[in-house]
Homo-oligomer: A and B are copies of this chain.
Amino acid sequence: MKIGIIGGGSIGLLLAGRLGKQHEVTLFTRTECQADHINRAGGIEIKGIHPVFTACRAEAISRSKAIGVQDLLIVTVKQGAIDEILAYIQDVEMPLLFLQNGMGHLNKLDCLHSESVYVGITEHGALRENETTTIHTGMGAVRFGLYRGERQAALLGHQDDSDFPIEEVKDIYPKLIEKLIANACINPLTAVLGVRNGEIMANPYFRRVLKGLCKEICTGLGIEEEQHHEYLERVSLICERTADNKSSMLRDIEMHRKTEIESILGFCLEEANRRNEKMEAASMLYAMVRGLEESGGSEW
């Protein structure tokens, strides 16, 4: 199967490196420089869990010739870069799979010509080391499901890599919500408090903050009260499983980069606003992260 992966960040490199073991993968990068690096190296290196070097071609998406000949395109760029990517894939007809945090981009996918638009989540932890290398820091799965159009008989069905499970689910929506809530709780809290994921559960006061925040976000998203506890349990479990990790938002603040706060907690606040639900704690947390982005992080 010819798979095009759009986005040369940590997750794009990870997918290209893993899927490239069984498929003919082309990585579409933002910069020509990164594509050159990968082509000169002859592929992508994955460090960390199950290290591997995988042969792979790369093209800068702006000069792409190969985008139209793929059997599947997987879009791994951050939600904030989706608009830019849509221009390149607007008219393609092969199946598309979108792997972004948050849900604010979903309505944008309605304008695509492709007859099979899938969305999914990745539970992996990965850190890009350089333009050709990513470090796989946390094991998880990729889960995806049909968002719009026709289901393909076996999208990624030949993928048979027990080190890198990929699972199609019937209804991806609950998974997206679950991931959104986890990201909306864990990312901003770790970014503001400057702590690793595990500290949110280990510290009784932070745990209390997590609980209140999770409840508020569930209410804002219109989730029924008897389900709130279930979501809190899952978020808590993710904190514990990724205890040693720094969240991407904390890393972004530390590196003075723009965070994904808008796509994640910003989206939740908009949803709550549509429902006339006030989210006082979440609003404060949102503004704190936006402020930290502006101020270039803590001075400690």
Judged by a CB distance under 8 angstroms, whether A83 is at the interface is no
A290 within 8 A of B: yes
CB-CB < 8 A to A283: which residues of B? 212, 281
Interface of A is mostly: helix
Enumerate chain B residues within 8 angstroms of A49, measured Cβ to Cβ.
Answer: none
Chain A 257-300 interface residues, beta-carbon cutoff 8 Å to B: 279-281, 283-285, 287-288, 290-292, 294-295, 297-300
A193 contacts chain B at the CB level, 8 A cutoff: yes
- Say yes or no: is A166 at the interface (Cβ < 8 Å to chain B): no
- Do the beta carbons of B206 and A287 come within 8 Å of each other? yes
Stretch of A142-150, A197-205, A229-237 with 4 or more beta carbons under 8 angstroms from chain B? A197-205
Count of chain A residues near B, Cβ 8 A = 33
Q: Does A254 make an interface contact (CB < 8 A)? A: yes
Asked if A192 is at the interface of the complex by the 8 Å CB criterion, the answer is: yes
Q: Which residues of B contact A212 (CB under 8 A)?
A: 280, 283-284, 287
Docked Cα-Cα span, A262 to B209, in Å, equals 17
Q: How far is the CB of A200 from chain B (nearest CB, A)?
A: 9
A64 to chain B, nearest CB (A): 38
State A281–B287 Cα separation when bound (angstroms). Answer: 12
Known: A205-B291, A209-B291. Is A193-B280 also a contact (CB below 8 A)? no
- Asked, given contacts A280-B281, A281-B281, whether A291 binds B213 with beta carbons under 8 Å apart, the answer is no
Q: Are B290 and A205 in contact (CB under 8 A)?
A: yes
**Are A192 and B192 in contact, with the CB atoms below 8 A?**
yes
A40 at interface (Cβ–Cβ under 8 A)?
no
A194 touches B (CB below 8 Å): yes
Query: Is A208 an interface residue, CB under 8 A from the partner?
Result: yes
Q: A residues 177-217 with Cβ under 8 Å of B?
A: 192-196, 199, 203-206, 208-209, 212-213, 216
Q: In the complex, A67→B193 CA distance in Å?
A: 45
* CB-CB under 8 A for A294 and B192, given A212-B283, A212-B284, A254-B300: no
The list of the 7 closest CB pairs from A to B, nearest first, reads A205-B291, A194-B298, A280-B280, A205-B290, A281-B284, A206-B291, A205-B287
Q: Show 25 residue pairs from A and B whose CB-CB distance is below 8 angstroms, ordered by the A residue.
A: A192-B288, A193-B288, A193-B291, A193-B292, A194-B299, A195-B295, A195-B298, A196-B299, A203-B291, A203-B294, A203-B295, A204-B291, A205-B290, A205-B291, A206-B287, A206-B291, A206-B295, A209-B287, A209-B288, A212-B280, A213-B284, A280-B280, A281-B284, A284-B285, A298-B300
